[in-house]
């Protein structure tokens, strides 16, 4: 049962927020008040929110019958990703069961947050920020706001799973972003913004390649609102390369050690992905039979339907860049901590 719901909730996507959460805990190591268990609890809470959010998105997409638009466009010869909520389409799961699963995931996340808040004895304003993030995640796809349908989905995801995630987990693990001795941890906020851009770009990868489908289904994503390929690709480049600039800026200003510039090892993957997005906009196919190993893991690639590989190849690559970026930062922190 648990395995089935993890699969339904697309647990393969968890690394996009799991690694940033782990990174936040690692960055908190060595600070006054560090508590590994509260950090782990915060990581678990973030993962539950992510999984619950995926199911919630499926629930409202099903209600709006968005898959019908995708299948119609595919029948007309357009590219459209149709591997959506198969567990609802095959009848193995009912809507009441889906609602209960969503409640369980978000309920566990709420318990994690309450425990951390009580143990840390945080102020009420911190609980308010957490509640605001939860509301934004809920109304990403839920009516009446449906933020993801009005060009605000990418912004919401970027804020919630970027600076809010990094700063929130960091604060849970060590108790504060500010101390009289060191001042405000500006580098944590900067790294949070960098991760937020990557996470946004994971979503934007989807919305850019599916912008025609979304436009037909009246889902106004950022890619749809930008309209032209030039504007859409410019936004993609900004989200893809600015995180590297932020890290190098923190190095240049002395907020973090020069060793953190090792994240630039991920630039070749970023350049490849940018080129792949440009080729997509031009209608040029990228070989998908055997993705280059250096792009990172492509989960169960042999089982992915050929007509969906054009999207997943780019999506997995963006996810892998985010994961490796966080892993490099975490490894550098651990090495510097140990020496």
What DSSP string runs through 255-304? Answer: SS-GGGGGGGGGHHHHHHHHHHHHHHHTT-----SS--GGG---TTGGGS
What DSSP string runs through 110-143? Answer: HHHHHHHHHHHT--HHHHHHHHHHHHHHHTTTST
Residue 22 parent element (H or E): helix 15-28
pLDDT under 70: residue ranges of the chain: 63-85, 123, 125-126, 180, 214-218
Tokens of 322: 């985010």
pLDDT at 72: 53
pLDDT at 125: 67
206-234 burial, b for 16+ CB within 10 Å, e for fewer? bbbbbbebbbbbebbbbbbbbeebeebbe
**118-130 residue pLDDT tens:** 888 776 766 777 7
Distance CA 284, CA 271 (A): 17
- Residue 53 CA from chain centroid, whole number: 11
pLDDT at 314: 93
pLDDT at 73: 47
pLDDT at 160: 85
pLDDT at 76: 45
pLDDT at 23: 95
pLDDT at 285: 86
Q: Give this prediction's pTM.
A: 0.84
């Amino acid at each position: 049962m648990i395995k089935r719901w993890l699969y339904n909730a697309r647990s393969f996507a968890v690394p996009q927020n799991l690694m940033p959460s782990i990174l936040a805990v690692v960055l908190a190591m060595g600070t006054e008040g560090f508590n590994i268990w509260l950090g782990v609890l915060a990581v678990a809470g973030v993962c539950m929110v992510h999984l619950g959010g995926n199911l919630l998105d499926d629930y409202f997409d099903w209600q709006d019958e968005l898959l019908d638009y995708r299948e119609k466009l595919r029948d007309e010869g357009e590219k459209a990703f149709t591997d959506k909520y198969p567990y609802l389409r095959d009848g193995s799961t009912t809507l009441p069961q889906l609602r209960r699963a969503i409640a369980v995931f978000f309920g566990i996340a709420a318990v994690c947050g309450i425990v951390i808040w009580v143990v840390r004895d945080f102020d009420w304003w911190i609980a308010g920020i957490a509640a605001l993030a939860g509301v934004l995640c809920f109304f990403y796809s839920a009516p009446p706001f449906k933020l993801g349908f009005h060009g605000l989905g990418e912004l919401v995801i970027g804020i919630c799973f970027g600076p809010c995630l990094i700063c929130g987990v960091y604060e849970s693990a060590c108790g504060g972003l500010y101390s009289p001795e060191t001042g405000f941890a500006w580098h944590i906020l900067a790294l949070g913004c960098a991760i937020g851009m990557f996470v946004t770009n994971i979503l934007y990868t989807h919305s850019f390649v599916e912008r025609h489908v979304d436009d037909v289904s009246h889902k106004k994503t950022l890619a749809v609102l930008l309209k032209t390929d030039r504007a859409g690709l410019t936004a993609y480049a900004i989200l893809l390369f600015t995180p590297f600039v932020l890290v190098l800026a923190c190095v240049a200003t002395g907020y973090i050690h020069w060793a953190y510039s090792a994240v630039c090892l991920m630039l070749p993957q970023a350049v490849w992905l940018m080129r792949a997005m440009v080729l997509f906009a031009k209608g040029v196919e990228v070989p998908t039979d055997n993705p280059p190993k250096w792009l990172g893991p492509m989960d169960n690639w042999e089982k992915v339907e050929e007509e969906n590989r054009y999207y997943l190849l780019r999506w997995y690559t963006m996810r892998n860049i985010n994961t490796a970026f966080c892993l490099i930062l975490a490894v550098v922190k651990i090495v510097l901590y140990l020496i």
